Structure 1
């Protein structure tokens, strides 16, 4: 219930509020149109709370006690501030600001979710939609036609709504989240269902899809899961796990071996003759020019949406015959950290690391399963950002923001309610059990 001071009405809309939260949580397993609609509705739902309530609801204390929503909002503010000095055309600058506006989903979820029970509902909708996505891609893999597959890559690459690159990364994250959260389900049947879905998602990564970033993320999250599973005295030996997993995957899958071997070939070709002929060659060229742009303006960068403008400018200086890239060809360097560096300078890169660190800081004292799941999401985000602009891009960026928001909300409100119960402030909770 939200009472708007000075108005002769009281709004009682917990069902609508929770419905919008669950829609946002589920949307990142569905089409881009649903994602866009859910984000707009989420903003419309949270604005009355922030504008008209003199204080946030008691259960909305997440904004006062957590660092991640603060740094997520700060990132959007800094990008908005950089409009004052951006070298990009206004439409591209505003477009970039809009893309990073997805960061606001994190504080929005933390405002609208007010209890552990509501966070649990959001988590169920998020995982349910992701499970639907995984099963749908397996159906495509086995040549079962599904009418809801709208991606251009559905027929040949088995991606349902986006691309095999996005869905490979998302499947790797989902495998880790299902695995770590399996002990939070109320009974053993769902416990084993979570394990089965984790294995299905992992199979998606290494069998169904051909995205090389997905392979790397898959190896990374499995390595982290093994690290947490090992006794403390053996965790130093877990440093050997990633290369061993890499060798196992490389030797057991011809598709993986071919795709990863192609990286070495592409890099070798580029070192002999730098050309835009291969995926690796494109990335190396974009990264090199991005570093040059950062070096030219390292303090504040060139402003929001400026990467394309600065890339074309630097390349024209090198080669007067350079044909400018357009936003639909290469609108980013396929590397998130360099993208922030070009737009906001070295401070922008530090700001991105500060956001990641803020999430880690907020995970303190949360349930161990939530900590491990959220750390897996962060690790996947870092790995994917090293070879893609995962936060800038649509769909995959929304997926990461929603997954972090939902997990942080569940972990935070679980911790808050447990602390109040232990201090005698509440009666024993009637929420869903979180035991294994």
Structure 2
């Protein structure tokens, strides 16, 4: 299938760019990528360099383990088999990370992948700004593109993505080969942050933006002053709240919804739905803490528990309500407490690998990781399509670039010695 380096690199670059394009392109390209990586691994005569990232990094091992565990849970899942297989397929996106690490062979190839990833994100960012100023964007396919200004997905997804892109450009500006590109990266970072706070109305995006700015300030402070960084997030949140009307309105709605739910637990509002999902998910985990209910079982377990409370409960369907909008609880319901530990282990493996890499890439990657963790607290960001693909591709590309950059530095050092 992959007969030339050009075809291999072209596929890698397509996947890197796809998460700034439509969901159809994302889906097709990631399947081709995983198949290509399997062909490379299964063929004979491959060199040690082909599998070096898999042997020396923890992230690809944990990513593969995640898919295996979810597939293994099909043996005891309470979900209909089509829903269970669909859930395993959704977590199949984890394989994009080891696939990228297998197919990207050099620092130059990683740089191409990074350039395509960042270029597609700039395209997405500028398209959203055009929609905001009511400029026709023929390629915008989102259902509410003219009102929510999201181009291909939802304002929730694109708000989170914009916050991540702001952090990535900010930290990677140090890699710019020229001063104009250095300042261009700063401009893109500011535009992306403005995209979150002005254009979109996703509340998780606001929280991720606060986290990204707070982390950047933490790293910018001298070591002896970093203790003061504990005060940075609330200060940034207050500045954002009082500076942007849309942010203030959205968080005021949360306060009102939670207050209403506290006095009368009627899950009609966005916050009320989440709180009800979370409460029921905790009960489902408590009932089956060791092994959970298996892949794709969240809807089945939610409906079962709700019917015990209210026999007239109208069942949710797995297509429109397949998760509790909280990744940690989703893994707990499906895999038990061990599933939550597995998710933390996956995050830990990423952090462990990133901290061994060069400074700018390490900071950019750790920012993406923090954004993912914050997103998972309020959404099922790894389970969901598009936003989950975005996180897997961005982490895969950054890990590949950091790995091969480190190899290059080590090679130069050994030559000098």
Q: TM-score when scaled to structure 1?
A: 0.94
- 1:327, 1:416 → 2: CA distance? 45
Instruction: Extract unaligned runs of 5+ from structure 1.
Output: 3-10, 427-436
Match of 1:8 in 2: none
Shift of 1:341: 0.2
**Contact 2:18–2:26 (Cα < 8 Å) also in 1:** yes
1:354 to 331, 334, 345: 345
**1:318-337 alignment, distance < 5 Å:** 318-337=309-328
Match of 1:377 in 2: 368
**Contact 1:28–1:402 (Cα < 8 Å) also in 2:** yes
Shift of 1:164: 0.2
Match of 2:411 in 1: 420
Q: 1:348 to 1:54 in 2, by over 3 A?
A: farther
- 2:147, 2:355 → 1: CA distance? 44
- 1:295, 1:277 → 2: CA distance? 25
Deviations 1:244-294 (A, max 9, x none): 111101111111101011111110100111112111000000000000000
More helix by share: 2
**Contact 1:308–1:331 (Cα < 8 Å) also in 2:** yes
SS in structure 1 of the partner of residue 415 of structure 2: coil
Deviations 1:154-175 (A, max 9, x none): 1001000000000000000000
- 2:97, 2:202 → 1: CA distance? 27
Q: 1:357 to 1:144 in 2, by over 3 A?
A: same
**Contact 1:59–1:115 (Cα < 8 Å) also in 2:** no
Shift of 1:364: 2.9
Match of 1:131 in 2: 122
Cα RMSD between the aligned structures? 1.3
Matched, 1:202 2:193: yes
2:156 to 142, 150, 165: 165
- 1:154, 1:409 → 2: CA distance? 33
Matched, 1:185 2:176: yes
Shift of 1:54: 4.8
- 2:416, 2:134 → 1: CA distance? 56
- 1:284, 1:407 → 2: CA distance? 35
Matched, 1:99 2:90: yes
Match of 2:252 in 1: 261
Count matched residues.
Answer: 417
Matched, 1:277 2:272: no
- 2:4, 2:389 → 1: CA distance? 26
- 1:352, 1:425 → 2: CA distance? 41
Q: TM-score when scaled to structure 2?
A: 0.98
Runs of 4+ in 1 over 6 A off after TM superposition: none
